[in-house]
Amino acid sequence: MARFFVEPRQIKEDTAVVYGPDVKHISKVLRMDVGEILTLLDGSGTLYRAEISEISKEEIRCRILQREQSSSEPRLKVTLVQGLPKGDKMETIIQKCTELGIDQIIPLAAERSVVKLDAKKSAERQERWQRVAMEAAKQCRRSAVPRIHKLCRWEELAEKIPLGARGLIPWEDEKKQSLKQVLEGMEHPGEVYILIGPEGGLEVQEVARACAQGFRPVTLGPRILRTETAGPAVLTMVLYHFGELG
Protein backbone atom coordinates (compact mmCIF):
# COMPACT_ATOMS: atom_id res chain seq x y z
CA MET A 1 0.00 0.00 0.00
CA ALA A 2 1.31 3.48 -0.90
CA ARG A 3 2.66 5.43 2.11
CA PHE A 4 3.04 9.19 2.45
CA PHE A 5 4.19 11.47 5.26
CA VAL A 6 2.03 14.44 6.25
CA GLU A 7 2.37 17.09 8.93
CA PRO A 8 0.12 16.59 11.99
CA ARG A 9 -1.60 19.89 11.11
CA GLN A 10 -2.77 18.29 7.85
CA ILE A 11 -4.94 15.88 9.85
CA LYS A 12 -8.14 17.13 11.48
CA GLU A 13 -10.58 14.68 13.04
CA ASP A 14 -11.50 12.23 10.26
CA THR A 15 -10.02 14.22 7.36
CA ALA A 16 -6.47 14.46 6.01
CA VAL A 17 -5.19 16.77 3.28
CA VAL A 18 -2.14 15.95 1.18
CA TYR A 19 -0.42 18.75 -0.74
CA GLY A 20 2.97 19.53 -2.25
CA PRO A 21 4.96 17.13 -4.50
CA ASP A 22 3.01 14.09 -3.23
CA VAL A 23 -0.13 15.31 -5.00
CA LYS A 24 1.46 14.81 -8.41
CA HIS A 25 3.03 11.53 -7.35
CA ILE A 26 -0.30 10.12 -6.15
CA SER A 27 -2.45 11.34 -9.02
CA LYS A 28 -0.05 11.29 -12.00
CA VAL A 29 2.65 8.74 -11.22
CA LEU A 30 0.68 6.16 -9.22
CA ARG A 31 -2.57 7.13 -11.02
CA MET A 32 -4.61 6.64 -7.86
CA ASP A 33 -8.24 7.73 -7.97
CA VAL A 34 -11.12 8.59 -5.65
CA GLY A 35 -12.05 5.60 -3.51
CA GLU A 36 -8.55 4.09 -3.40
CA ILE A 37 -6.79 3.45 -0.10
CA LEU A 38 -3.40 4.75 1.01
CA THR A 39 -1.42 4.98 4.24
CA LEU A 40 -0.55 8.34 5.77
CA LEU A 41 2.07 8.83 8.48
CA ASP A 42 2.37 11.88 10.71
CA GLY A 43 6.12 11.49 11.29
CA SER A 44 5.79 10.69 15.00
CA GLY A 45 4.73 7.06 14.80
CA THR A 46 0.99 7.16 14.04
CA LEU A 47 -0.31 5.48 10.87
CA TYR A 48 -3.59 6.40 9.20
CA ARG A 49 -5.41 4.16 6.73
CA ALA A 50 -7.23 6.63 4.51
CA GLU A 51 -9.53 6.67 1.48
CA ILE A 52 -9.10 9.29 -1.23
CA SER A 53 -12.27 11.40 -1.36
CA GLU A 54 -11.28 14.30 -3.62
CA ILE A 55 -8.43 15.06 -6.02
CA SER A 56 -7.49 18.50 -7.35
CA LYS A 57 -4.37 20.01 -8.84
CA GLU A 58 -3.31 21.52 -5.51
CA GLU A 59 -4.38 18.90 -2.96
CA ILE A 60 -5.79 15.48 -2.26
CA ARG A 61 -8.42 15.11 0.47
CA CYS A 62 -8.76 11.81 2.27
CA ARG A 63 -11.21 10.28 4.73
CA ILE A 64 -9.47 8.58 7.63
CA LEU A 65 -10.70 5.03 8.14
CA GLN A 66 -8.35 3.80 10.86
CA ARG A 67 -5.60 5.03 13.20
CA GLU A 68 -2.90 2.92 14.81
CA GLN A 69 0.45 3.32 16.51
CA SER A 70 3.39 1.77 14.69
CA SER A 71 5.20 -1.12 16.35
CA SER A 72 8.26 -0.74 14.12
CA GLU A 73 9.91 2.19 15.92
CA PRO A 74 12.60 1.45 18.55
CA ARG A 75 11.54 1.92 22.15
CA LEU A 76 15.06 3.11 22.88
CA LYS A 77 15.54 6.70 21.74
CA VAL A 78 19.06 7.23 20.43
CA THR A 79 20.44 10.63 19.49
CA LEU A 80 23.62 11.09 17.47
CA VAL A 81 25.64 14.22 18.23
CA GLN A 82 27.76 14.42 15.08
CA GLY A 83 30.77 16.68 14.71
CA LEU A 84 30.14 18.52 11.45
CA PRO A 85 32.04 16.68 8.68
CA LYS A 86 33.17 17.80 5.23
CA GLY A 87 31.33 17.47 1.91
CA ASP A 88 28.20 15.37 1.71
CA LYS A 89 29.18 13.01 4.53
CA MET A 90 26.47 14.43 6.79
CA GLU A 91 23.82 13.33 4.31
CA THR A 92 25.25 9.81 4.24
CA ILE A 93 25.24 9.70 8.04
CA ILE A 94 21.63 10.89 8.17
CA GLN A 95 20.51 8.33 5.58
CA LYS A 96 22.16 5.35 7.25
CA CYS A 97 21.17 6.31 10.79
CA THR A 98 17.57 6.87 9.69
CA GLU A 99 17.48 3.38 8.18
CA LEU A 100 18.83 1.90 11.40
CA GLY A 101 16.38 3.66 13.72
CA ILE A 102 17.92 6.90 15.03
CA ASP A 103 15.58 9.26 16.87
CA GLN A 104 17.48 12.56 16.49
CA ILE A 105 20.70 13.92 15.02
CA ILE A 106 22.40 17.02 16.39
CA PRO A 107 25.15 18.45 14.15
CA LEU A 108 27.92 19.87 16.34
CA ALA A 109 30.38 22.65 15.46
CA ALA A 110 33.46 20.89 16.86
CA GLU A 111 36.95 22.36 17.07
CA ARG A 112 38.21 20.23 14.17
CA SER A 113 35.17 20.74 11.96
CA VAL A 114 36.58 22.15 8.73
CA VAL A 115 33.22 23.44 7.49
CA LYS A 116 32.09 26.71 9.07
CA LEU A 117 28.46 27.76 8.61
CA ASP A 118 26.90 31.12 9.29
CA ALA A 119 23.29 31.41 10.50
CA LYS A 120 21.81 31.53 6.99
CA LYS A 121 23.77 28.57 5.65
CA SER A 122 23.10 26.63 8.84
CA ALA A 123 19.34 27.08 8.39
CA GLU A 124 19.57 26.04 4.72
CA ARG A 125 21.56 22.94 5.60
CA GLN A 126 19.11 22.00 8.35
CA GLU A 127 16.20 22.15 5.89
CA ARG A 128 18.09 20.02 3.38
CA TRP A 129 19.16 17.49 6.02
CA GLN A 130 15.58 17.19 7.27
CA ARG A 131 14.45 16.41 3.71
CA VAL A 132 17.17 13.76 3.47
CA ALA A 133 15.83 12.17 6.67
CA MET A 134 12.28 12.29 5.29
CA GLU A 135 13.27 10.55 2.05
CA ALA A 136 15.29 7.93 3.91
CA ALA A 137 12.36 7.25 6.25
CA LYS A 138 10.08 6.75 3.23
CA GLN A 139 12.48 4.36 1.54
CA CYS A 140 13.00 2.15 4.60
CA ARG A 141 9.29 2.29 5.54
CA ARG A 142 9.72 3.90 8.93
CA SER A 143 6.67 5.45 10.53
CA ALA A 144 8.61 8.29 12.17
CA VAL A 145 11.05 10.80 10.73
CA PRO A 146 14.15 11.57 12.81
CA ARG A 147 14.48 15.17 13.91
CA ILE A 148 17.57 16.89 12.51
CA HIS A 149 18.53 19.84 14.70
CA LYS A 150 20.18 23.05 13.60
CA LEU A 151 23.95 23.28 13.96
CA CYS A 152 24.75 23.28 17.68
CA ARG A 153 27.60 24.93 19.59
CA TRP A 154 29.23 23.34 22.61
CA GLU A 155 27.63 25.82 24.97
CA GLU A 156 24.18 24.80 23.65
CA LEU A 157 24.66 21.06 23.84
CA ALA A 158 24.06 20.61 27.58
CA GLU A 159 20.59 22.15 27.24
CA LYS A 160 19.60 19.52 24.68
CA ILE A 161 20.43 16.48 26.82
CA PRO A 162 17.62 15.52 29.25
CA LEU A 163 18.19 14.27 32.77
CA GLY A 164 18.52 10.49 32.90
CA ALA A 165 19.89 10.11 29.38
CA ARG A 166 23.16 8.17 28.98
CA GLY A 167 26.02 9.59 26.96
CA LEU A 168 28.76 7.70 25.10
CA ILE A 169 31.91 9.01 23.37
CA PRO A 170 33.80 6.56 21.17
CA TRP A 171 37.35 7.94 21.53
CA GLU A 172 40.61 6.63 20.12
CA ASP A 173 42.56 7.58 23.27
CA GLU A 174 40.33 5.47 25.55
CA LYS A 175 42.13 2.14 26.02
CA LYS A 176 40.42 0.41 28.94
CA GLN A 177 36.64 0.82 28.83
CA SER A 178 34.99 -0.83 25.84
CA LEU A 179 31.55 -0.04 24.50
CA LYS A 180 30.54 -3.64 25.20
CA GLN A 181 31.54 -3.37 28.87
CA VAL A 182 29.63 -0.12 29.34
CA LEU A 183 26.48 -1.46 27.66
CA GLU A 184 26.58 -4.68 29.70
CA GLY A 185 26.62 -2.63 32.90
CA MET A 186 23.74 -0.41 31.80
CA GLU A 187 20.06 -0.99 32.46
CA HIS A 188 17.67 -0.07 29.65
CA PRO A 189 18.20 3.71 29.70
CA GLY A 190 15.31 5.00 27.64
CA GLU A 191 17.57 7.54 25.93
CA VAL A 192 21.18 7.31 24.74
CA TYR A 193 23.30 10.10 23.25
CA ILE A 194 26.29 9.17 21.07
CA LEU A 195 28.97 11.83 20.49
CA ILE A 196 31.14 11.42 17.38
CA GLY A 197 33.88 13.80 16.35
CA PRO A 198 34.47 15.13 12.83
CA GLU A 199 37.43 14.17 10.66
CA GLY A 200 40.42 14.22 12.98
CA GLY A 201 38.31 13.41 16.03
CA LEU A 202 37.65 15.46 19.14
CA GLU A 203 40.13 17.65 21.00
CA VAL A 204 41.11 16.49 24.50
CA GLN A 205 39.40 19.50 26.07
CA GLU A 206 36.19 18.69 24.15
CA VAL A 207 36.18 15.15 25.53
CA ALA A 208 36.77 16.53 29.03
CA ARG A 209 33.91 18.98 28.55
CA ALA A 210 31.58 16.19 27.42
CA CYS A 211 32.62 13.97 30.33
CA ALA A 212 31.75 16.80 32.71
CA GLN A 213 28.26 16.69 31.17
CA GLY A 214 27.93 12.95 31.90
CA PHE A 215 29.31 11.33 28.74
CA ARG A 216 31.47 8.21 29.12
CA PRO A 217 34.44 7.62 26.78
CA VAL A 218 34.62 4.13 25.27
CA THR A 219 36.86 2.27 22.88
CA LEU A 220 35.48 0.47 19.83
CA GLY A 221 38.57 -1.71 19.45
CA PRO A 222 41.90 -1.54 17.59
CA ARG A 223 40.65 0.02 14.35
CA ILE A 224 39.94 3.70 13.81
CA LEU A 225 36.62 4.32 12.07
CA ARG A 226 35.86 7.20 9.75
CA THR A 227 33.45 9.78 11.09
CA GLU A 228 30.75 8.69 8.62
CA THR A 229 31.18 5.06 9.75
CA ALA A 230 31.43 5.52 13.51
CA GLY A 231 27.93 6.90 14.17
CA PRO A 232 25.99 4.20 12.28
CA ALA A 233 28.28 1.51 13.74
CA VAL A 234 27.75 2.56 17.36
CA LEU A 235 24.03 3.08 16.77
CA THR A 236 23.80 -0.48 15.45
CA MET A 237 25.65 -1.88 18.48
CA VAL A 238 23.52 0.02 20.97
CA LEU A 239 20.20 -0.94 19.35
CA TYR A 240 21.30 -4.57 18.98
CA HIS A 241 22.39 -4.79 22.61
CA PHE A 242 19.00 -3.60 23.84
CA GLY A 243 17.05 -5.90 21.51
CA GLU A 244 15.99 -3.29 18.95
CA LEU A 245 17.79 -4.91 16.00
CA GLY A 246 18.22 -8.53 14.93
* Residues 13-28 pLDDT 10s: 899 999 899 999 999 9
* Residues 112-161 pLDDT 10s: 999 888 889 999 999 999 999 999 998 888 989 999 999 999 999 988 99
Say yes or no: 169 and 223 in one domain. Answer: yes
Say yes or no: 231 and 113 in one domain. Answer: yes
Say yes or no: 99 and 146 in one domain. Answer: yes
Exposure string over 123-157, b if 16+ CB within 10 A, otherwise e: eebbeebbebbbebbeeeebbbbbebbbbbeeeeb
Residue 156 domain-assigned (yes or no): yes
Residue 223 domain-assigned (yes or no): yes
* Cα–Cα distance measured from residue 110 to residue 121, given in angstroms and rounded to the nearest whole number: 17
* Residues 66-83 pLDDT 10s: 998 877 789 999 999 999
Q: How confident is the model at residue 182 (pLDDT cuts 50, 70, 90)?
A: very high
Write the DSSP assignment of 95-118 as a string of letters: HHHHHHT--EEEEE--TT------
* Cα–Cα distance measured from residue 110 to residue 108, given in angstroms and rounded to the nearest whole number: 6
Residue 27 domain-assigned (yes or no): yes
Query: Cα angle at 38 between 35 and 44, to 5 degrees?
Result: 140
Q: How confident is the model at residue 190 (pLDDT cuts 50, 70, 90)?
A: confident
- Model-level pTM? 0.88
State the total domains in the chain. Answer: 2
Q: Which domain holds residue 49?
A: 3-69
Say yes or no: 102 and 224 in one domain. Answer: yes
